[in-house]
Chains A and B, each alone.
Chain A
Amino acid sequence: MLHGFGGQLLLGALTTVQLAAASLALGTLLGALGCWLQLSGHGVLRAIGNGYAAVVRGVPDLLVVFAVFFGGALTLASLTGRYVEIDTFVAGVVALGLSFGAYAAEIARGALQSVARTQREAARMLGLSRAQALWTVVLPQAARVALAPFGNQSIVLLKQTSIVSIVGCDELMRKAAEASGATREPFTMYLAVACIYLALTGFATLCLEWAERRASRPMAR
């Protein structure tokens, strides 16, 4: 049915998962940084954090991918003085990570701000240091609030990896395009790929639901 392209598609799916995992890691780091900037006491840092979140969330991911891919190639060329072939996987991770980081920063900020100020004050009153209060009192409570939106955004990221195929990254969508060209059966190939994406997002959704159930258990005494 897939004319022997099944293996290629699964290989593409593996790249898609790697792309999503790497972007998730980079994006989470950028999100933590962005959130720290947004909550900073310094006006300029706050403006940078807010600007990052607003700008990246206001433009399409595809534009970010193009900007990183073509802009990155030009930057590398002017730095090294010769034409450099930019790695599409790396460009994809940077672009998707930048995009995810902006959403993650907003989610983290909202979650931290949802923890009542009195919680931190009480922890400080009990003699915990600032770091201890943040780490043992505020963060665990914020993490519960952030879990659902963070998980949903990760699933969005998993689907958004498909756009990196436009600049030639050899992931699932690209494999489908190649298989379509070779077999002249684009509908079959794209439908097969849709089913693989559905399985991936379905699995991710189940994991998220399990984590949410665990996180909403009453606290142990």
Chain B
Amino acid sequence: MFDFALLGSVMPSLVEGAWLTLKLTASVILLGTALAFPVALCRNSRFAGLRAAANAYVLFFRGTPSLVQLFLLYYGAGQFEAIRDSVLWPALRDPFWCVVIALGLNSAAYTGKTLAAALAAIPRGTREAAFVLGLARPHAFWLIDLPLAARAALPAFGNEIILTCKATSLASTVTLLELTGTARLLTSETYAPYEVFLGAGLVYLAINYLLLSGIRTLESSLNRPH
């Protein structure tokens, strides 16, 4: 009933699909982390307006499904002529960039919240000590606050990478042939859902295992006493 030869024959295509999964994951994490900094800084800002904007952003992206966010961008953006005529249109028509932007904005909300909490949890004393030692504010932020916060936020960040890798499967709904999309295509070609989905599952497990080991190594090297 279970065809091992077939499982072996679909593996190369699945691994090829996994390459796109990895590319999407890396791009989303890169964009999400870059945007997480302004989100975190706004959330901890002295200005009520910035705080409210950041909170609304986080509320929207954490309170709605990623799939809605993706469809809002991929199908929704074309509703407006202004967007269709703008320079952004070539990117918004491309499913790859739609996925990266939608999931990146989503990831920024989660990472931004974690980072804001980590920055807020740094004891006042460290900042005062930096000030007394004569460090300027931006200097103290880069050299003292950020490394401390990054270390505290790392476990949650590792989790976010795994969640992002799994979330990139949504790219299959907008025609991209990443791992899940490839598996679905292969199922309709071979009529062998057991073998194909088992194969895809194994590749996902392997990817997540590797990502997790990488994060653990990073965590233990950062948590070494100085």
Q: A residues within 8 Å of B by Cβ?
A: 54-55, 58-63, 66-67, 70-71, 73-74, 159-163, 165-166, 173, 176-177, 180, 184-188, 190-191, 193-194, 197-198, 201-202, 205
Q: Which residues of chain A are near B208, meaning CB under 8 Å?
A: 58
B197/A187 in contact, CB under 8 A: no
Interface contact tally, CB-CB below 8 A: 113
Count of chain B residues near A, Cβ 8 A: 38
- In the complex, which residues 2-39 of chain B have their Cβ closer than 8 Å to any Cβ of chain A? none
Smallest CB gap from B60: residue in A: A198
B59 to chain A minimum Cβ distance, whole angstroms, is: 8
B205/A190 in contact, CB under 8 A: no
A198/B63 in contact, CB under 8 A: yes
A197 to chain B minimum Cβ distance, whole angstroms, is: 5
B204/A197 in contact, CB under 8 A: no
| Contact A186-B173, Cβ < 8 Å, known A66-B184, A197-B63 | no
Which secondary structure dominates where chain A touches chain B? Answer: helix
Q: B residues within 8 Å of A by Cβ?
A: 59-60, 63-69, 71-72, 75-80, 166-170, 172-173, 180, 183-184, 187, 191, 193-194, 197, 200-201, 204-205, 208-209
Q: Which residues of chain A are near B169, meaning CB under 8 Å?
A: 60-63
B67/A162 in contact, CB under 8 A: yes
A63/B183 in contact, CB under 8 A: yes
B68/A190 in contact, CB under 8 A: yes
B75/A71 in contact, CB under 8 A: no
A187/B194 in contact, CB under 8 A: no
B63/A163 in contact, CB under 8 A: no
